[in-house]
A = this chain, B = another copy of it.
Amino acid sequence: MTVPYSELELRRSKVKRLMSAQGIDAALITCNVNLIYTCGAVASGWLFLPVDGEAVLFLKRSGGVKEADSIKVRKPEEIPAYLTQKGYPMPKTLMLEGDELSFTEYNRLAACFPEATVSPAGTHILREARSIKTPWEIEVFRRSGEAHARAYNRIPEVYRPGMTDLQLSIEVERLMRLEGSLGIFRVFGRSMEIFMGSLLAGDNAGAPSPYDFALGGAGLDPALPGGLNGSLIKEGQSMMVDMGGNFFGYMGDMSRVYSAGRLPDEAYEAHEVCLKVQETVASLARPGAVCEDLYHAGIEIVKQSGWADCFMGTDQQAKFIGHGVGLEINEAPVIAPRMKQKLEEGMVFALEPKIVVPGVGPVGIENTWAVAAGGVEKLTLCPEAIRPLGV
């Protein structure tokens, strides 16, 4: 979505405030999500963002960003000479995106500013700024949630008995694309890879995966060992659809459960446990609430229900029940043990209590929530009961 100029100004001043508080004079920003955040689009280039003075966008090639006022360069080594010529003081402390740039690229950029103290804090500071969404960003999430719900609501139309999990997933992926999903799934770091999201059916939901998602799945190939495994969906099995809702660059997150016919009663009970976890955590979530407290409040309900051994997986249990979402699927905050971070107004997070019922499959819920002054707003409005398919 086209980002208004005033919105970009707001974001940049937020980043500058955080830089200033850490004694950083200037940033050189080049990773795609951070350029989307500060410039409104992916670009092939570098944004020089000083705490004092005008930002300058250096572009290696056209496309993506609007190019008014950008400076064409062939390589980053040309940046300092331009800045000097325009009267910019060389930064004393320059921040780079230390958790995103490769070791080699970081060193190359650092070497362009030999007199600066170079800090890798760029990733941390930009992620901190990005973790508090603006009203504009929250509105984008609302619209994404609507498109996401429209796609899920059509899942009963595309199901046919005798499908494999892969065949059903392909139809769900198509529905998501028809509603406008950009398809790509942006992740921070190296611990996750996935196509558009996951569809987990039956016991495959409990299969371990090397990826750091809430549930695993064996996958189709050792080159992508996560998610669906190509097995037939059987009567009495549950399926969880958990697609990334990337409609306008923001990764909204929502999971819903479907069943092939009727499930054993215990599956509906386990689903209710997850809904109760959601209700409890959502009722406690507000500015100032501590993430680990929210986690423990949820876990307490699970323990009392007797489902703790199957919560967030069976063979491998995820140690979180929620995570921030934004331009990437894994932003701050994380709702997990030992997380002392407090919720703040503007944070947007996914809450995903899930139980894998042995012999049946996954149940539970995932919605995306925005933290408002007095509580939280649900951004993914879509029926939450287990929906039977093929009836």
Of the residues B41, B123, B220, B248, contact of A182 by C-beta under 8 Å: B220
Q: Inside 8 A of A218's CB, which chain B residues have their CB?
A: 63
Judging by beta carbons under 8 Å apart, are B62 and A225 in contact? no
Asked whether any CB of chain B lies closer than 8 Å to the CB of A126, the reply is: no
What 0/1 pattern do residues 186 to 204 of A give for CB contact below 8 A with B? Answer: 0001110111100000000
For the complex formed, measure the closest distance between the CB of A57 and the CB atoms of chain B, giving whole angstroms.
12
Judging by beta carbons under 8 Å apart, are B63 and A222 in contact? no
The complex places the Cα of A211 from the Cα of B184 at a distance, in Å, of 14
Q: Inside 8 A of A10's CB, which chain B residues have their CB?
A: none
Asked whether any CB of chain B lies closer than 8 Å to the CB of A44, the reply is: yes
Asked whether any CB of chain B lies closer than 8 Å to the CB of A101, the reply is: yes
Q: Inside 8 A of A212's CB, which chain B residues have their CB?
A: 44, 61
The complex places the Cα of A147 from the Cα of B106 at a distance, in Å, of 40
For the complex formed, measure the closest distance between the CB of A230 and the CB atoms of chain B, giving whole angstroms.
9
Q: Inside 8 A of A99's CB, which chain B residues have their CB?
A: 102-105
Judging by beta carbons under 8 Å apart, are B225 and A64 in contact? yes
The complex places the Cα of A160 from the Cα of B236 at a distance, in Å, of 38
Q: Inside 8 A of A173's CB, which chain B residues have their CB?
A: 173-174, 177, 183
For the complex formed, measure the closest distance between the CB of A159 and the CB atoms of chain B, giving whole angstroms.
16
For the complex formed, measure the closest distance between the CB of A357 and the CB atoms of chain B, giving whole angstroms.
20
Asked whether any CB of chain B lies closer than 8 Å to the CB of A112, the reply is: no
Asked whether any CB of chain B lies closer than 8 Å to the CB of A347, the reply is: no
Q: How many chain copies?
A: 2
CB neighbors of B among A331-387 (8 A):
none
For the complex formed, measure the closest distance between the CB of A315 and the CB atoms of chain B, giving whole angstroms.
7
Judging by beta carbons under 8 Å apart, are A210 and B64 in contact? yes
Asked whether any CB of chain B lies closer than 8 Å to the CB of A249, the reply is: yes
Of the residues B105, B106, B315, contact of A62 by C-beta under 8 Å: B315
Q: Inside 8 A of A64's CB, which chain B residues have their CB?
A: 209-210, 222, 225
Of the residues B32, B196, B211, contact of A190 by C-beta under 8 Å: B32
CB neighbors of B among A16-34 (8 A):
30-32
Given A2-B222, A98-B104, A223-B41, verify A178-B182 contact (CB < 8 Å). Answer: no
The complex places the Cα of A315 from the Cα of B64 at a distance, in Å, of 14
Asked whether any CB of chain B lies closer than 8 Å to the CB of A232, the reply is: no
Judging by beta carbons under 8 Å apart, are B3 and A222 in contact? yes
Q: Inside 8 A of A3's CB, which chain B residues have their CB?
A: 222
The complex places the Cα of A103 from the Cα of B101 at a distance, in Å, of 6
Q: Inside 8 A of A177's CB, which chain B residues have their CB?
A: 166, 170, 173
The complex places the Cα of A184 from the Cα of B61 at a distance, in Å, of 25
A: residues with CB less than 8 A from B are: 1-3, 30-32, 36, 40-45, 61-65, 96, 98-107, 120, 123, 166-167, 170, 173-174, 177-178, 180, 182-184, 189-191, 193-196, 207-212, 216, 218, 220-226, 246, 248-249, 315-316, 327
Nearest 4 A-B pairs (CB), nearest first? A223-B249, A41-B222, A183-B195, A103-B106
